[in-house]
Structure 1
Amino acid sequence: MSRTTEIDVPAVLRAARAVKQATLAEVGAHAGYSSSAMSRILNGRMAVGDVALRRIADFLEIPPQRLGLAPDPVRHASTSGLRSSVATRVTAGRESEGEVRRRRFFALGAAGAGAAVVGAGPAGAEPVDVPPGTDLLEQALFEPVAPVLLPDLPASLTRARADFRAARYDRLRATLPAIISGAQAERDAVSGLRRERANAALARAHVLATELAVKGSADYAWVTADRALSAARACGSPVVIGEAARVLAITMRRSGRIASAVQLLTTTATGLDGEDSADSLAVRTSLLLTAAYSAATGGNGSTAYDLAEEAERTAGRVPPGLVGELFTVEATAEQCALYRIGLATVLGDPDAGVQHALDLDPTRLPTKERRARYFTDTARMWDALDEDRRTYEALLAMERVAPEEVRRPSVRAVTARLVHSPARLPGLRPFAARTGALGA
């Protein structure tokens, strides 16, 4: 069977390998190729036949229709045709659980999410109605619809950014699939400077997707981070490349590849030496702060504090009156102080973080997402100091600022520990119940 030209087979293979975290040797051994041959296949420099591709797909658990190895009528059907087909299957009583998930995605992700992004008003508009337990973003990554151009991609991306900064994560998960699809469609339809801008938009959409995946401890962070960096490099902007490298390094760190994460971050930051624009200084600051935290998680305190100090010096070079602002965070003195709290706790010296926490006024942090990060870090700090009441107060403050943040797995773990502690904290169990921590 011939594969359709719209499928980027190497990209699908790279994403699946990232999710499985398989080595080139492991994939090659299953398909009968050397590691070097697999590298060429995954980078599109070597063609592969259908038989071998099926073996690779089997090992990486890729549905054959995703590689054009089996018919996928849903991909090419119109919305009305899709609904008709689904209705026929339901009537016949043969709709599988997988088909239910696909139907839910295409109905909500392709139509509902697209409408939500294109037709949404200000970022505070009504939330998108998504069934409980449905992650439209995850489904879109592995069962995407054919890309469809958005009427105004920049405006849609701006609204998505506003949702992230306001900690409206459920809405963002519902709207991002259409933005990613629209950015892909625009990139493929234009050339020159317009193509570079479309790649930048696609990279930043995947940066947002990675931020969401990290907050939810989702495995697909590897996929979105890889796609973010690929699109960023295609657009050529050092700032966008830095933003994408940062989220990829966070994913690396969380999988235990701390040294590699620090190297990626510091190398990318070094590449921005000599760049004095506010945005360039901002991305360099952010890379250094993330490198400092990554080094701290590896127990390397001296490197962590050296990197944090360099980040503070870089943030101080932002011209007066300007804000060093990235797509998701800022590079300010307050941001640097915020990282100091987390560094002290991770390095096993939470007492050192207390003064930073007391000195930092969270209202000076410009977004709800960053203010929630302040309360997350202070909750962990007080938890490490066995200050149960203060830990609980920080969690309640986080809920008031950004209710969706307290449902993060790492935050629920702190809440669950409080539930099982001897401390008597009024309202703790109802709080744990509404945030999902009782089962954590």
Structure 2
Amino acid sequence: MDTSALIWWATIAGIVGLLAFDYVFHVRKAHVPTISEAAVWSAVYVGIAVLFGVGVLVLGGPAMGTEYFAGYLTEKALSVDNLFVFLVIMTSFRVPRADQQKVLLFGIVFSLIARTGFILVGAALINTFAWVFYLFGLALLITAGNILRPRDSENRSPDNVMVRFARALFRTSSFYDGDKLFTIRDGKRVMTPMLLVMVAIGGTDIMFALDSIPAIFGLTQNVYVVFTATAFSLLGLRQLYFLLDGLLDRLVYLSYGLAAILAFIGVKLILHALHENNVPFVNNGQRVAVIEISTGVSLVVIIGVLVVTVIGSLVSPKGRAVNLVSAARRHATEYLTCEIDPAVRADVFRRLLAEEAQLRRLPEKYRARIRAEEQLMALLRRAHEEHDAVVGPRP
């Protein structure tokens, strides 16, 4: 299906409208979303993406519809993995929970802009140079290998080149002033950590785009499908962040699933490159007779891998232990350094107590490992000591 300019502009207007709606009705007034609010709006955005895909399937045909859903699922899975990094960044910058929505919406908008730029560049390269498929395939195989490398998210620094440049260029404050980007300190206009955390997320979004765009081009070269699948995978990501707050760290095998998907797409790209080969030093510039993987098969593989890794993570005792430890660490840090609202602090401490109770019910081998983590135990003790100093010890 040829996509007319009218369809393009209507689609862009719809996406911008959804982002504007999200800001005006949910983000402009700082608040902590409830689980029910996050669940309802996550379902709404997923429903919109599915309905759009059905429209593509009806108007564009089965091939185009299959390409859209394969691309959407892949990009959505990669976006969920990106939430881990967003979580690390906001914890490192000690962003109050009520203000995290604004940071996330900025990250989504910046990510959409960055990915659109990469999509246009990628489409131009593919149309001009067939050998780009080799590069995209190799990049995905390397990315899959990097995902499998151990990542110490607790000690990961949120500083990147953009953050260091911002710190060098502007006066910065160590204190938040609501969700303001700039404030006045000692009579001077300074940049708040709110702007710095947005810069940090913007910098990481560029790196995410380098991974995700080759992946979706491995499933379809239709620029309209690439753009819409990417855009709809990002919409609703803010709500999903709060909905999965207690489950993000539980998905311990998601990285293995993503590595498998990216490696699969990387192989698919290289096979396609061989089939379309015109590189002189490969088979004398002639096409290589290889089997190409259809988009339908790709969709089945992507769904299968995601189902297996998610279910495996949720039923895994290790997943439950990792989730509880990470959640307790995060809530203790929030209680000590991030939150000043008494009601929010009380809610955070209640969550911490519930998580500690569940930790005590874990098998002994996991409890022993937790007790051996001196930094975690010291953090939990400080949270209890501060709580006792404020409201008194529990009876």
For the criterion TM > 0.5, the same-fold answer is no
Which one has the bigger helix percentage? 2
Greater RCO, CA 8 A, separation 6+: 2
Q: TM-score, normalised by structure 1?
A: 0.21
